[in-house]
């Protein structure tokens, strides 16, 4: 087994089976949507006036009415009418089944069945009425206990960062940075945490600041798994030192997990290290401390996400299943961490914030 086998190639150890499972679940959801496409089309043709996304409406408000409104670039754009419509949408919200369908959970008809069966919760309350209106940006929706990202303005991208790319959106020295990837998107994306220039692997790009904080800050315990090719033949005793803990110049550190994958005849070893710390170059420093300097390092996992077969330099949107898993972690962290503790966590350790190299 070579180090290259762990960077953008088929790797069961790093979660390849989980990737296939997630993609299969997402494909099933997409097929469900396709199966109900005809039924959804007939719904739209009826022009359901209760849904602003389905049909143009003519609403009486303060004695005045408006039917259609225009884009701001249109010379006939009616700002007041647009504001009135925005106020109505904010007040009434969007029908729950519409939000579920837009989020990729299922078609609207199937979503209605799921709601009627009591499988959907809004802000912790079981909802059985399909007509229930929600605010996609504020209300928390769960289906069968799994969080749904209803805010379609949020974007989540997985990047396999190559060696030689700096984890900055605009590098002050003009070195190759992440802008070559983020510039491809209309949304203003930023990276969750960092990988140093010599490290490749899984990096998340998003515009969801709340989720980024939960994923990057060590106080929330989201683990990251790395595979390192190191100098020397590592022994089980050395692996035990990594998990027992080491005293480095910036304090004590212990890996959550560590295991030896291979010890080659050429005098190198492959080791897997899992930890939730975000300290600067922490994996390299830990392996240096035990006498096995890093030759190559790749991050294979970040929380529930697996790099899978994504090649270096390639990107992809997260699947609906992956987004749900991240959202569940984020919401649970928000519930478990009181506001005061969260504020303290933000400033507790300057070496473990989202800008630290790993």
The residues assigned a catalytic role are 196
CA pair distance 289, 254, nearest whole angstrom: 12
Angle (CA) 280-286-290 rounded to 5° is: 160
Answer yes or no: are the C-beta atoms of 352 and 279 closer than 8 Å: yes
Which residue spans within 19-73 are E strands per DSSP? 59-61, 64-66
Answer yes or no: are the C-beta atoms of 168 and 178 closer than 8 Å: yes
315 forms beta bridges with 159
Answer yes or no: are the C-beta atoms of 322 and 329 closer than 8 Å: no
For the chain, first and last CA: distance in Å?
A: 25
Using CB atoms within 10 Å of the CB of residue 328, give its burial: 0 to 12 exposed, 13 to 18 middle, 19+ buried: middle
Q: What are the backbone angles phi and psi of residue 237, rounded to the nearest 5°?
A: -65, -35
Q: Which residues contact 335 (CB under 8 A, 6 or more apart)?
A: none
């Amino acid at each position: 087994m070579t180090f290259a086998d762990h960077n953008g190639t088929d790797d069961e150890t790093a979660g390849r089976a989980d990737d296939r499972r997630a993609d299969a679940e997402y494909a099933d959801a997409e097929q469900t949507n396709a199966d109900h496409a005809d039924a959804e089309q007939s719904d739209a043709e009826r022009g359901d006036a209760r849904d602003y996304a389905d049909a143009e409406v003519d609403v009486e408000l303060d004695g005045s009415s408006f039917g259609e409104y225009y884009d701001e670039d249109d010379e006939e754009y009616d700002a007041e009418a647009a504001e009135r419509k925005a106020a109505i949408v904010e007040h009434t919200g969007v029908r729950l089944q519409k939000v579920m369908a837009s989020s990729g959970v299922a078609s609207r008809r199937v979503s209605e069945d799921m709601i009627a069966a009591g499988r959907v919760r809004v802000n912790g309350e079981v909802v059985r009425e399909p007509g229930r209106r929600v605010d996609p940006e504020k209300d928390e929706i769960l289906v069968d206990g799994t969080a749904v990202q209803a805010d379609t303005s949020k974007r989540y991208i997985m990047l396999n960062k190559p060696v030689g790319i700096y984890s900055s959106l605009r590098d002050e020295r003009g070195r190759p940075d992440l802008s070559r990837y983020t510039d491809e998107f209309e949304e203003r994306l930023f990276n969750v945490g960092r990988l140093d220039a010599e490290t490749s692997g899984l990096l998340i790009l998003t515009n969801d600041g709340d989720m980024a904080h939960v994923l990057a800050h060590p106080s929330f315990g989201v683990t990251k798994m790395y595979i390192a090719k190191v100098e020397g033949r590592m022994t089980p005793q050395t692996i035990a030192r990594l998990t027992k803990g080491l005293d480095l110049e910036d304090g004590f550190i212990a890996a959550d997990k560590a295991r030896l994958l291979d010890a080659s005849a050429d005098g190198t070893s492959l080791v897997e290290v899992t930890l939730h710390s975000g300290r600067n170059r922490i994996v390299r420093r830990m392996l240096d401390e035990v006498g096995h300097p890093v030759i190559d390092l790749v991050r294979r996992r970040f929380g529930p996400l697996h790099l899978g077969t994504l090649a270096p330099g390639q990107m992809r949107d997260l699947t609906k299943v992956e987004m749900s898993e991240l959202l569940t972690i984020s919401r649970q962290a928000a519930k478990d961490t009181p506001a005061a503790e969260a504020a303290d966590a933000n400033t507790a350790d300057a070496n473990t914030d989202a800008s630290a190299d790993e």
